[in-house]
Structure 1
Amino acid sequence: MPVIAVADGTGKLGCTVVDAIVEHGGYEVVVLARAASKAKQKELGVRVIGVDYKSVEALTETLENENVDTVIATFDSAAPPDPELALVKACDASSKTRRFIPNWWGIRYTAEVAAIFPIAASKIAVLETLEKTNLEFTTVINGFFADYYVPKIPSRMGPFTMALDIPNNVAAIPGTGDVPVAFTHTMDVAHFTASLLGLPEWPRESYIVGEKLTWNEFLAVVEEAKGSKFNVSYDPLEKLQKDEITELPGHKTMHAFVPKQVLDGLLAVFGILFEEGYFDLKPVKSMSTFKARTVQQMVKENFHDQPDSTQSTCDVANYLGSK
């Protein structure tokens, strides 16, 4: 039975990927973590192995001892690239490891994206290192996580206030709101990733898109589902480029995790990426037959019963990469 190792798999996205592979069946799953955790091991039902990401040699030894065939990286998005770069080198050195899925989980990260969103530079560095190895790899490209807008659908991510403050019937749309954005739920991303493991070969880019909607279209879907009209404003590109946004009620809760100035800058950056079309994914034909749920399906499911209006706490710590 092939062994799949999920690196940093004790985080929210990592746990979701582990759950999906276990449910899929046919693989032995282990989690690579900075420290072994009996609690996480009990929660996930798989072994959690403590590793030293500062040592390529120790990582290589672990991969070989565990007979790891494939590694899936789910590191914090804001983390420096050093642990993942070391893991790539260890996988290349391991005689047992053939495949690697890097920590992308979003859009195509290019030099143009990095100029707007500096975190992308780390992801590009990992990809450049992978290209120099003998490993087979694919990047999973899924757009923006839909979890933040459908809190009643099971998710480890939690809600996050960006553009639409659904509990408070308020919206601050980035740009014109007329540029398509790809939205996909993390559970669908995880099951898609599990489906990739059985493919005989991988494309360099593996796309999964639940649905592409403009922010204006997304707002209309939510308004219809809730039966409520939102108070709507728009943040033009010129405003976003100054790291300025319209503050929504839900943002105040997020300030408990991150200062307002930092949060405003982050949301402005995403607003620019939305408006300039970087989330308007244009996938080539996928080798996987996995089909994700659409936004409209998820919103209807979420609002079958009206959500609690107090459910506005945003998991900003997770979104920014904290565990």
Structure 2
Amino acid sequence: MGIIAVAGGTGQLGRTIVEEILKRGGQEVIILGRKNDEVKAKEIGARIVAIDYNNTSSIVTTLEENKVETVIAVLNLMDGIEPELALITAADQSKTTKRYIPSCWGVKYSPELASISPLGAGKLAILHAVEATSLESTSVINGMFMDYYASPDMKTYIQPLALVLDMANNAAAIPGSGDVPVVFTYTFDIGRMVAALLSLPKWSKEYYIIGDRLTWNQIVQMAQVTKGVTFDVKHDSADTLKKGQVTEFSSHIPLYPFFPKEQLQGMLSWFGILYDNGNFDLRPTKEQSLNEIFPEIRLKSMEETIGSWKGK
């Protein structure tokens, strides 16, 4: 069986996926990174192979020398999509590489989403690039990371960020009506599903993972009951979101030296538009649903995740 390479496998979702593939067993995993890190490799339990995203031919050589059959991309695209485009080109040219999962986690990317966000446009460009190759590819669509709403006691590699709810400070900024369902999935459940997906002999164009489905109003109510306090609830209208603005949480302010306010507000407002438009209300067919294909994998609920705040 060919080797699995996870590009971005030392990062947040990437590391989670690597750990779950290793836990499932039966396949060797390597991490493609910009530099080698023996300490991190030992900590994760997977070899890190350094690649230069500016040198496509060297990536081809690396993939072939390591007999990489499947590439899973979990790259941070905030600074541009060129590294992933180079990786896709190299994977297509590699004689050993046959399968590819792009960095298009979250929602189904479309021209509509591309028209309202540079990030959406970049994701769509990546999808078009991989679809133009001879590689067998699939996108994994999982909704929002449930981890953002977990207490510090719950294991995650996702960096904390208050999105709609600031659980630690008992605040909420609901986008639109708050009555549109949103799908949430815990990252370790995504990792387990991806590990299982690798066992399928043939892939569909896209697969979905549904951890839980709730509206923001339901989640705020759940959070208030769990913590036994009344949240400070604000509402961000559709017009406010279209201006690139959201209600500022106190927990956002320390992020500004690393993630400028205008950029953070722009990203959060884009998410708010998608929530209110129903883009996170994922409705897969039975054939597209990894929940249906792997019913033995139990997924964490939002009630369990919010429940981790009980007594805190």
**What residue is the counterpart of 1:321 in the other structure?**
none
SS state of the match for residue 62, structure 2? helix
Compute the displacement of 1:77 (Å). 3.2
**What residue is the counterpart of 2:51 in the other structure?**
51
**What residue is the counterpart of 1:248 in the other structure?**
249
Q: Where does structure 2 lack aligned partners over 5 or more consecutive residues?
A: none
**What residue is the counterpart of 1:65 in the other structure?**
65
User: How do residues 150-229 of structure 1 correspond to structure 2 at under 5 angstroms?
Assistant: 150-151=150-151, 152-229=153-230
Moved over 4 A (4+): none
Q: Deviations over 1:40-59 (max 9, x none)?
A: 21111111111122222211
User: For the Cα contact (< 8 Å) 2:3–2:69, is it kept in 1?
Assistant: yes
Identity of aligned residues (%): 43
Q: Whole-Å Cα distance in 2 between the matches of residues 166 and 274 of structure 1?
A: 19
Q: Deviations over 1:154-213 (max 9, x none)?
A: 000132111111122121111110111111111111111111000111111110011111
User: How do residues 311-322 of structure 1 correspond to structure 2 at under 5 angstroms?
Assistant: none
User: How do residues 213-292 of structure 1 correspond to structure 2 at under 5 angstroms?
Assistant: 213-285=214-286, 286-287=289-290, 288-289=293-294, 290-292=297-299
Compute the displacement of 1:214 (Å). 0.7
Query: Does 2:302 align with 1:295?
Result: yes
How many residues in Structure 1 have an aligned counterpart in Structure 2?
305
User: For the Cα contact (< 8 Å) 2:12–2:159, is it kept in 1?
Assistant: no
| TM-score, normalised by the number of residues in structure 2 | 0.93
Q: Whole-Å Cα distance in 2 between the matches of residues 210 and 169 of structure 1?
A: 24
SS state of the match for residue 251, structure 1? helix
| TM-score, normalised by the number of residues in structure 1 | 0.90
Q: Where does structure 1 lack aligned partners over 5 or more consecutive residues?
A: 308-323
Q: Against the structure 1 CA distance between its residues 209 and 68, is the aligned structure 2 distance closer, same or farther, given a 3 Å change threshold?
A: same
User: How do residues 6-85 of structure 1 correspond to structure 2 at under 5 angstroms?
Assistant: 6-85=6-85
Q: Which amino acid is the alignment partner of residue 257 of structure 1?
A: F
Q: Whole-Å Cα distance in 1 between the matches of residues 264 and 92 of structure 2?
A: 38
SS state of the match for residue 269, structure 1? helix
Q: Deviations over 1:76-119 (max 9, x none)?
A: 03132211111112111122111100001110111111112211
Q: Whole-Å Cα distance in 1 between the matches of residues 230 and 214 of structure 2?
A: 19
User: For the Cα contact (< 8 Å) 2:149–2:305, is it kept in 1?
Assistant: no
Alignment RMSD, CA only? 1.4
Q: Against the structure 1 CA distance between its residues 129 and 264, is the aligned structure 2 distance closer, same or farther, given a 3 Å change threshold?
A: closer
Q: Whole-Å Cα distance in 1 between the matches of residues 230 and 200 of structure 2?
A: 45
